[in-house]
Amino acid sequence: MKVGFYGGKFMPFHQGHLYSTLKASAMVDKLYVIVLYDEERDRKLCEQGNMPYMPYKERALWISQETRDCPNIEILYIEDADSLDADYNWLEGGKRIKAAIHESITHVFSSESSYSKWFDQIYPEAEHIVLDEARQMFPISATQIRTEGVYKHWDMLPMSVRPFFTKKVAVVGTESCGKSTLVRNLAKLFQTTYVEEYGRTICEEIGNGSDLIIDRHYEEITYGHKHLEFQRLKQANKVLFIDSEQVVTQYYTKVYQGYELPIVEEAIATQRYDLYLYLEPDVPWVEDGYRVLGETSVRASNNALLKEMFAQRHIPIITIEGTYNERMEQAIQHVRALIAI
């Protein structure tokens, strides 16, 4: 029985890693892919690269999703204590790997021939197979991704890795301020997905009667919108646009019901967006059959209320105003800055 392992930090797991994993899995009966982690070292590496910290379970999940239809691959994660690269203790690391695998290792895979001097000592019975040392198939390294940024090397990230790095942009504002059109246009321009306003979906289901909206509809809006966001994030390309979020849901609850709902507040407390684009209501009111708050003074006071609701929750917003074209240009600049292009 041929038993192999392929180990690494996988920060992040990229196409080169995936290529080696699949090649290695075809050469053995059983392949262990091992995420070697050390929180202190890994946090430092992420900070140096100005990247979010990648927890080891997240890395193991990426590999698991990419190889879910490969029955001979098993993913393990092993703590590599005191493993700052310069003084990494290979022999101790090897002991932990052997203990976790529990069976005789016949093959060790890597893309570094220099690792042979260690592998020959730690796994003397195993053959060290060096895969694509020149990184010809996928010319990339995780260090390069960390130093130059994920957005520059987006194509080198497998689909399951991308959502972790996708920036989430919430487009917010009161009724008829051009959110839906702007969100759709931004999604087209950035060739990505978006989440439509779920409150609107519910209104369309109910028909023409916003006074019939009751508490459970706001709950459905909160959960339904979040569920859509999880789904669309999986197909997004660097950035996901979200039409309205839960502060906006709470604002509607307050305006229509006269009170706020704790369940919506809980969703607000856990939501995380990288950018909030707040659209001023300085474009003409458009009647669409579902809107009832169009009078100028009502629009102004509602706008003040929504802004105040963001301020109370210490959520920083970026205000966008002007004509539809001016809004689009401002939005594009802000999003470009976010993903560094």
Ligand X SMILES: NC(=O)c1ccc[n+]([C@@H]2O[C@H](COP(=O)([O-])OP(=O)(O)OC[C@H]3O[C@@H](n4cnc5c(N)ncnc54)[C@H](O)[C@@H]3O)[C@@H](O)[C@H]2O)c1
> Residues marked as binding?
14, 41, 110-112, 138-140
Choose which of 4, 24, 56, 94 interacts with ligand X (CB under 6 A).
94
- Minimum separation from the CB atom of position 129 to ligand X (A): 11
Q: Does 82 bind ligand X (CB under 6 A)?
A: no
Radius of gyration of the chain (CA): 25
- Cis omega (within 30 of 0) on the bond before 262? no
Q: Does 25 bind ligand X (CB under 6 A)?
A: no
Residue nearest to ligand X (CB): 16
Alpha-carbon gap, residue 132 to 35, rounded angstroms: 20
Q: Of 141 and 210, which has the nearer Cβ to ligand X?
A: 141
The answer to whether 24 touches 130, Cβ cutoff 8 Å, is no
Choose which of 97, 126, 247, 264 interacts with ligand X (CB under 6 A).
97
Binding mask 105-144 for ligand X (x = CB under 6 A): -----xxx---------x--------xx--x--x-xxx--
Choose which of 93, 178, 199, 281 interacts with ligand X (CB under 6 A).
93
- Minimum separation from the CB atom of position 330 to ligand X (A): 39
Got the DSSP string for 86-143? GG--HHHHHHHHHHHH-S---EEEES-GGGHHHHHHH-TTSEEEE--TT--SS---HH
The answer to whether 50 touches 129, Cβ cutoff 8 Å, is no
Alpha-carbon gap, residue 139 to 312, rounded angstroms: 48
Cα–chain-centroid distance for residue 156? 15
Q: Does 7 bind ligand X (CB under 6 A)?
A: yes
Q: Of 36 and 242, which has the nearer Cβ to ligand X?
A: 36
Q: Is 176 helix (H, G, I), strand (E, B) or coil?
A: coil
Site of interaction with ligand X (CB under 6 A): 7-10, 16-17, 19-20, 36, 80, 83, 85, 88, 90, 93-94, 97, 110-112, 122, 131-132, 135, 138, 140-142
